[in-house]
Amino acid sequence: MTLSPNLKGAFAHPVLKVISGLNNFNAASVAATVKAADLGGATFVDIAADVDLVKLAKSLTKLPICVSAVEPEKFVTAVAAGADLIEIGNFDSFYAQGRRFEAAEVLELTRQTRAMLPEITLSVTVPHILTLDAQVQLAEDLVKAGADIIQTEGGTSSNPIHPGTLGLIEKAAPTLAAAYEIARVVSVPVLCASGISNVTAPLAIASGAAGVGVGSAINQLNSEIAMIAAVRSLVEALATANIRALA
């Protein structure tokens, strides 16, 4: 597995990736998310693959910077600007537009990206629109194509019908199921993302994930203090999950 120097050792414990959004190019919003990740104790941050945003993030934190895109060429300039790792995916924002990502396209994007950037740490999201069996097969193919990290998703396909804790578990069920099935067959870390909260983060670890990616549960909050508190709550939930796993 190819890991950037900034990530060496990070996966020895459950990781928390804080996501600002693949289509979020608002500098103030990204800055607030990055600051919250830094002050809250996250492992790394995930921002749009944009040179100016990479420079902004690096001025605000020493955490590793992940950049997300679905166009391989965007990664080249972002890495040159200082991004530590790259992510093909965070597809959730596209589904409302009617844009689908099928297995063949994601695999081809992975091959193109790896050819352009053979040494960078590469994470790839497996689309939740695929059947669970197809997600598992794609994950295996992505690892063969050079993916270092596999990310699951599924929050937008879930329609919770209950409030409170039960609703949070219902929301996370698709991505948890994908993480469980994929983690059993791949040798690289699996990040469980989309619909994850402090309630379900420990369930992701129990499902075999190496960590979680969280976006809207943090970046949609209306104050920096609330965002920092949300990050800390997730960090504590993951730490508790790790202690229980080691017990």
Give the pLDDT band (50/70/90) at residue 23.
very high
CA–CA dist 192, 85 (Å, integer): 17
Residue with the bigger pLDDT between 4 and 109: it is: 109
Least confident of 33-37, 44-48, 82-86, 239-243: 239-243
Distance (Å) of CA 232 to CA 16, 39, 193, 218, 235:
10, 8, 17, 10, 5
Judge whether residue 242 has pLDDT over 90. Answer: no
Report the chain's mean pLDDT, rounded to a whole number: 93
CA–CA dist 167, 38 (Å, integer): 29
Q: What is the pLDDT of residue 136?
A: 99
26 is written with which tokens? 């608002």
**Which one, of 4, 247, 5, 13, lies nearest residue 122 by Cα?**
4
Q: CB pairs under 8 A, 24+ apart, for 65-68?
A: 66/17, 66/123, 68/19, 68/22
Judge whether residue 96 has pLDDT over 90. Answer: no
Under a CB-based contact definition with an 8 Å cutoff, are residues 46 and 213 in contact? yes
Q: What is the pLDDT of residue 154?
A: 87
Under a CB-based contact definition with an 8 Å cutoff, are residues 135 and 181 in contact? yes
- CATH number of this structure's domain 12-246, picked from the four choices 3.40.640.10, 1.10.1040.20, 3.20.20.70, 3.40.718.10: 3.20.20.70
- State pLDDT tens for residues 43-93: 999 999 999 999 999 999 999 999 999 999 999 999 999 999 999 998 888
Judge whether residue 178 has pLDDT over 80. Answer: yes
Domain ranges for the chain: 12-246
